[in-house]
Amino acid sequence: MRKLTSLIIFAALTLGLFACQPETEGKQTPDKPATTGTTGTATPEPKQEVPENLKHEGYQYYGLALADELTYDFDYNGSKRQGKQKQTYNGFTDGKPRFTIERAEALSNLGTDILEIREDGVYMVSSREQVLETPILALPAKMEIGKTWEVSQKLKDAQGNEVTLKASNKIEKQEKVTTPAGACDCLVVSMNGTLTVQGKTQKVSGKTW
């Protein structure tokens, strides 16, 4: 079984990249969660604030309330690397708020994404500058332990080959993680499924905090 980390494109596609805040003002709760971002091709409508009813737990855990550029230190197959990520609010497109996530340095290979906020969750509209056939649920509005959701999508890899991903996501548990930025209360999201490239299918799995 091939293991994927949250920084590999297909795990990032379904789960996103998450950051957390140091535990300086008490324990983090679903009302004060973590981090991530997106872009679109349709002409945006005049910019207006994201409605309060759409600032749900999925929105918060994806980090869309944060405007600062974030720096990630990570280990990639034993090599220490650093990358940057920034989310930008683009206003409404087709009646729904959208965000752009742009990445730089060691995260630049993940490209730019577009997210759309709906009542039932955060949806990915495009990934790595590729518009998805059907927007996929990246995080549900209600972040409950035990919550599951399915994803199915076709993309093209860096060589132009068609890639099909079918996977199940599940919010497994709460877990405290200590990072150089401080202690974080996180939710662990698992992904298990299959990846088909050039007619060859293999199992994939990954976890995101």
CB burial string 110-147: b at 16+ within 10 A, e below: bbbbbbbbbeebbbbbbbbeeebeebbbbbbbebeeee
Angstrom distance (rounded) from CA 151 to CA 163: 14
Angstrom distance (rounded) from CA 4 to CA 167: 13
36-70: pLDDT as tens digits: 444 445 565 667 899 999 999 999 999 898 888 88
CA atoms within 13 A on the CB side of 58: 22
Q: How much is the pLDDT for 30?
A: 39
Angstrom distance (rounded) from CA 141 to CA 134: 18
76-128: pLDDT as tens digits: 788 899 999 999 999 999 999 999 999 999 988 888 999 999 999 999 999 87
pTM for the model stands at 0.76
Number of domains comprising the chain: 1
Angstrom distance (rounded) from CA 188 to CA 33: 13
Q: What average pLDDT does the structure give for the chain?
A: 80
Angstrom distance (rounded) from CA 163 to CA 184: 34
Range of the domain at 95: 2-208
Instruction: For residue 182, name the pLDDT band (cuts at 50, 70, 90).
Output: confident
Amino acid at 195: L
